Amino acid sequence: EMLEKGGFEHFMLKEIYEQPRSIKDCMRGRIYPEEGKVQLGGIKDYADKLKNIDRIIIVACGTSWHAGLVGEYLIEEYARIPVEVEYASEFRYRNPIITEKDIVIAISQSGETADTMAAIEMAKEKGATIFGVCNVVGASIPRITHAGVYTHAGPEIGVASTKAFTAQVTVLTLMAFYMAQQKGTISSSKLRELLTELDCIPEKIQDALKSNELIKTISAKFKDSSNCLFLGRGYGFPVALEGALKLKEISYIHAEGYPAAEMKHGPIALIDEEMPVIFIATKNSSYEKVISNIQEVKARKGVVIAIVTEGDVEVKRMADYCIEIPESQEAFLPLLATIPLQLLSYHIAVMRGCNVDQPRNLAKSVTVE
């Protein structure tokens, strides 16, 4: 088993460290930065249909649902197609409106999740076109969808999803760019710029992993917390949700992810000197707003851990702890900001003596309702 873990103590850590490679594998043969072109063989038969669709519905569960939220932001921003993101378990039972003009994107690492499969069957019956975004080649979901794009992250053993999540986000980024290209909502020079940067994301993830020792030190300080809040805005919001889910899944610390501005409508009541608040506070369009949210937490004596852009000075003056990630286009923030949060959950869980690869009560894939 040690051999399978490639010298790492746990599969989860191995899979976290595999991300520069898994994302490269995911993009291979699909992006052409110099030409400013994206190619997705798996959905190319629908290239024309994509020019005239009214709506996309994304269905998924768990971490895959968080990837779906990132997908919503990306597709709406670049392809200008309205997107709804649904929990498969809710969608399948609430008599939703689905038409032949809809495209449903089902996201599933395992390709076996019962609720996601049932949601697909229902949408298919109503005439929608179904795209799958799966990791396990030949699993049940890829077999019932019309078309799809594999994430190619390789086998994920740790129950808590890490590399499969970033690969799902990568595929959704490619899908958004592909749709934008088909619809003409993006210029080829802009696409060239974005793809050139996307091509560098694996190296930037490698850089982000260098904070591991610092994150370990921070983890030691918070391992005994009983609650934790994760806040972010824009692309940082799904990252906050995923950060909170990861922490609660493997360390059993109660954690909540929230849009930073919604904090004042609830979670702010919980903030005191015992409450660590993790902010996604990178330099992007919501930077100044997040800074004022940090001030609100500091004014209530909360302890702030911030994920910041390399070289940041402003947040560093306010936060108790800062973890740097490389600068990038806002659209790629989830791919980078997720990395330190995975490491934080991992170290906290290990320090608490938890079984990180097989947390209690959780299953790698949920094949029953």
Amino acid residing at 339: I
Under the criterion CB under 6 A, does residue 110 sit at the interface with ligand G6P? yes
Under the criterion CB under 6 A, does residue 362 sit at the interface with ligand G6P? yes
In the range 171-210, which residues lie near ligand G6P by CB under 6 A? none
Candidates 22, 109, 170, 251; binder of ligand G6P (CB under 6 A) is 109
Report which of 271, 267, 309 is spatially closest to residue 287, judged by C-alpha positions. Answer: 309
Under the criterion CB under 6 A, does residue 365 sit at the interface with ligand G6P? yes
Angstrom distance (rounded) from CA 104 to CA 58: 6
Under the criterion CB under 6 A, does residue 137 sit at the interface with ligand G6P? no
Candidates 12, 75, 105, 159; binder of ligand G6P (CB under 6 A) is 159
Nearer to ligand G6P, 328 or 338 (CB): 338
Angle at the Cα of 333 from the Cα atoms of 315 and 329, rounded to 5 degrees: 95
Q: Exactly one of 49, 124, 223, 364 is catalytic; which is it?
A: 364
Strand-pair partners of 59: 86, 106
Under the criterion CB under 6 A, does residue 62 sit at the interface with ligand G6P? yes
Nearer to ligand G6P, 242 or 324 (CB): 242
Candidates 16, 27, 58, 61; binder of ligand G6P (CB under 6 A) is 61
Report which of 180, 156, 157, 158 is spatially closest to residue 168, judged by C-alpha positions. Answer: 156
Candidates 63, 181, 284, 338; binder of ligand G6P (CB under 6 A) is 63
Angle at the Cα of 332 from the Cα atoms of 222 and 132, rounded to 5 degrees: 100
Q: x/- contact string, 5-44, with ligand G6P (CB under 6 A)? A: ----------------------------------------
Q: Which two tokens stand for residue 269?
A: 């009541």
Angstrom distance (rounded) from CA 97 to CA 95: 7
CB of 154 to ligand G6P, least distance (A): 14
Stretch that binds ligand G6P, among 29-37, 56-64, 216-224, 298-306 (CB under 6 A): 56-64
Under the criterion CB under 6 A, does residue 293 sit at the interface with ligand G6P? no
Task: Name 50's Cβ contacts closer than 8 Å, sequence gap at least 6.
Answer: 43, 103, 178, 179, 182, 183
Q: Where are the alpha helices (DSSP H) in the chain?
A: 11-17, 19-27, 62-79, 88-91, 114-125, 140-144, 163-183, 188-199, 201-208, 212-222, 236-251, 287-299, 314-318, 333-351
> Cα–Cα distances in Å, from 243 out to 49, 156, 159, 230, 284?
35, 18, 15, 7, 19
Nearer to ligand G6P, 124 or 364 (CB): 364
Stretch that binds ligand G6P, among 103-111, 204-212, 224-232, 279-287 (CB under 6 A): 103-111
Q: Are 230 and 284 in contact (CB under 8 A)?
A: no
Candidates 19, 22, 64, 282; binder of ligand G6P (CB under 6 A) is 64
- Judge whether 221 counts as a catalytic residue: no
CB of 273 to ligand G6P, least distance (A): 33
Nearer to ligand G6P, 108 or 219 (CB): 108
Under the criterion CB under 6 A, does residue 170 sit at the interface with ligand G6P? no
DSSP element (H, E) containing 131: strand 129-134
Nearer to ligand G6P, 170 or 284 (CB): 170
Q: Are 120 and 106 in contact (CB under 8 A)?
A: yes
Under the criterion CB under 6 A, does residue 113 sit at the interface with ligand G6P? yes
3-state secondary structure of 109: coil
Kindly list the residues in this chain that would bind ligand G6P in the complex (CB under 6 A): 61-64, 108-110, 113, 116, 159-161, 362, 364-366
Q: Annotated catalytic sites, by residue?
A: 364
